[in-house]
Amino acid sequence: MAYSAKGYGKLIGMEGFGETLLKNHFTLYQGYVTNTNKLLDTLASMLKEGKIGTPEYAELKRRLGFEFNGMRLHEYYFENLGGKEAPNKSGKLGRKLAEDFGSYEDWEKDFKGTGAMRGIGWTILYQDDITGRLINQWINEHETGHLAGGIPVLVMDVFEHAFMVDYGLKRGDYIEAFFKNINWDVAESRLR
Ligand SMILES: [Fe+2]
């Protein structure tokens, strides 16, 4: 069954995110969906044609990690945007953040600090599915650094395409804008 791109048009008009930037971002996301479908189809054909064991098969398998995660991480990202409320520090997620990081403020400092790291990729607040612990993690590009079995609770895109049109090199200003638009209800609903 093929994946289909979801629509995130309702995010247009979000404070701190220009329409051009968002529309370009949606187009990029759709490209990942298209390529994920293409790769899965091609790999399935190669299996039938007895092409396993070829360098072509190996490279396409590797590529799937990039395209699939590029698709799925954008879905997590767009879905955890569009909120207007401040985080509820006494809610389930707020209390868990304070428990695992010492305070909500320390979690926020660590998440923003992770996002400000040089390089392109993602910052993800993960929940370890075995212990329940919350961990902020950096992902290189789309596929390197994921925590096995980790549940993505809050996902922030820090590729340059996510902010340069509006903020130039000021990634910190983009991260502040991201925080103003987090949909905390969505993030909390991802917690186990
Ligand atoms: Fe992106």
pLDDT in tens, 10-32: 999 999 999 999 999 999 999 99
Distance 54 CA to ligand 1 centre (A): 31
Distance from the CA of 52 to the center of ligand 1, in angstroms?
A: 32
pTM over the 0.95 mark: yes
Q: In percent, how much of the chain has pLDDT > 90?
A: 99
Q: How far is the CA of 157 from the centre of ligand 1 (A)?
A: 6
pLDDT band at 58 (very low <50, low <70, confident <90, very high): very high
**Whole-angstrom distance, CA of residue 183 vs CA of residue 3:** 24
- pLDDT class of 162 with cuts at 50, 70, 90: very high
Are the C-beta atoms of residues 155 and 186 closer than 8 Å to each other? no
Region 150-168: mean pLDDT is: 98
| Helix, strand, coil abundance in the chain, percent, nearest 5 | 55, 10, 35
| Residue 151 backbone phi and psi in degrees, to 5 | -100, 120
Give the pLDDT band (50/70/90) at residue 147.
very high
Work out the mean pLDDT of the chain and round it to a whole number: 97
Q: List the shell of residues around ion ligand 1, using CB closer than 5 Å.
A: 157, 159, 162
How many Å lie between the centroid of ligand 1 and the Cα of residue 93? Answer: 25
CA of 56 to the centre of ligand 1 (A): 27
CA-CA distance, 5 to 137, in Å (whole number)? 26
Centre of ligand 1 to C-alpha 53, Å, is 32
- Can you tell me the distance from the alpha carbon of 74 to that of 52, in angstroms, rounded to the nearest whole number? 30
pLDDT tens digits, one per residue of 79-99: 999 999 999 999 999 999 999
- Calculate helix-pair angle for 104-115, 92-101, nearest 10 degrees: 80
pLDDT digits (tens, 9 = 90+) for 100-126: 999 999 999 999 999 999 999 999 999
State in Å: Cα 158 to ligand 1 middle.
7
- Check the CA dihedral 70-140-114-117 and report its sign: negative
What one-character DSSP code corresponds to residue 113? H
Q: What three-state secondary structure class fits 151?
A: strand
Q: What is the structure's pLDDT at 153?
A: 98
